[in-house]
Chain A
Amino acid sequence: MTGRMIDPRSLSAFAAGALFGSGLLVSGMIDTRKVQGWLDFFGDWDPTLAFVLGGAVLPMFFVWRLAERRGVSLLGTPTPARSPVRFDRALVIGSVMFGAGWGLAGLCPGPALASFAIGGWGGALFCLAMVSGMVMAPTVAAWLQSRTTS
């Protein structure tokens, strides 16, 4: 970011973040009741989230093909490599923990951030706990690893 008034990489990241957060607001996904309604398969099921996910996945399907064919982004960064297909313990345990927290509060990281300034003290407290969890995660991962190898 040095030497230039506006760094194109940061400008584009800001625009993406703004569009992402606005999409989450417009879609209704910052409403924790709607998200819990989507997960309430045995109650009053709310299918809205399927439309949100579908609307996001469809354009991205074609963007991925373009990005992988080009092999490099407009600003010269290589297209992220596919990670090796490994269904390790961290992926499974992490996904279970994430799903449980998502169901309990009706918030995942994106909507938690997008509603940080409008979610009252509850939303702010959630973000604080989430960031704390992210700080603790490497320690938890190391502990899991030590149990796997011993």
Chain B
Amino acid sequence: MIATDWIWGTVGGLMIGAAAGLYLLVNGRIMGASGILGGLADGTGRETMGERLAFLFGTLVVPPLLVPLYHSVDTKITSNPVIIIVAGLLVGVGTRLANGCTSGHGVCGISRLAPRGIVSTLIYLMAGGATVLVFRQMLGVI
């Protein structure tokens, strides 16, 4: 971690918290990325399609507009398509089974002291840690 990373991490975190607060106080919805997108993917969120699409449009379109302010933006994602596809499927199925991801269970669940959010977050942190331990430290493939 570079010394300024924690400052930008905190600033970005406060922005994410403000976004979740806005969505809750104005729209009355929990800001969970997997829930908002997943409800469109499986059709369960058809009745609230308008605000889901509006939220996703903001998330997809606005960050690229900020990119020119940075020296370089690189997601550094692996170039191995098998890892990408397996990881994407696991994240897609897993977040819908668990009914939440880092934003829904993590940010919104922990701050509400919701037991399911806290338990889910502990489990996906441990699973993520174990995955990096095995696939990076032991096998060296990621």
A residues with a Cβ closer than 8 A to B are 1, 7-34, 36-37, 39-43, 46-61, 63-64, 66-67, 72-80, 82-83, 85-87, 90-110, 112-120, 122-123, 125-138, 140-141, 144
Tell me if A125 and B81 are in contact (CB < 8 A).
yes
Among B16, B73, B126, which residue has its beta carbon within 8 angstroms of that of A99? B126
In the complex, chain A residues whose CB is within 8 Å of the CB of B50? 1, 7, 9-10, 13
Among A20, A51, A66, A72, which residue has its beta carbon within 8 angstroms of that of B31? A20
In the complex, chain B residues whose CB is within 8 Å of the CB of A53? 13, 102, 106-107, 110
Tell me if A10 and B54 are in contact (CB < 8 A).
yes
> Which 4 residue pairs are nearest across A and B when measured between Cβ atoms?
A133-B92, A55-B13, A27-B12, A129-B88
In the complex, chain A residues whose CB is within 8 Å of the CB of B34? 109, 134
User: What is the bound-complex CA distance between A119 and B60, given in angstroms?
Assistant: 11
Tell me if B101 and A103 are in contact (CB < 8 A).
no
B46 at the interface (CB under 8 A from A): no
In the complex, what's the smallest C-beta–C-beta distance from B50 to chain A, in angstroms? 5
In the complex, chain B residues whose CB is within 8 Å of the CB of A9? 26-27, 50-51, 54
In the complex, chain A residues whose CB is within 8 Å of the CB of B13? 23, 27, 51-56
Tell me if B114 and A132 are in contact (CB < 8 A).
no
Tell me if B101 and A108 are in contact (CB < 8 A).
yes
Tell me if A132 and B89 are in contact (CB < 8 A).
yes
Among B25, B94, B112, which residue has its beta carbon within 8 angstroms of that of A94? B94
- Residue from the set A10, A58, A103, A112 with the largest chain B CB neighbour count within 10 Å: A103
In the complex, what's the smallest C-beta–C-beta distance from A67 to chain B, in angstroms? 5
In the complex, what's the smallest C-beta–C-beta distance from A68 to chain B, in angstroms? 8
Known A64-B112, A79-B28, A137-B97; judge A30-B75 contact (CB<8 A).
yes
Residue-wise interface mask of B (14-55) relative to A, using a CB-CB cutoff of 8 A (1 in contact, 0 not): 111111111111111111011001100110000000111111
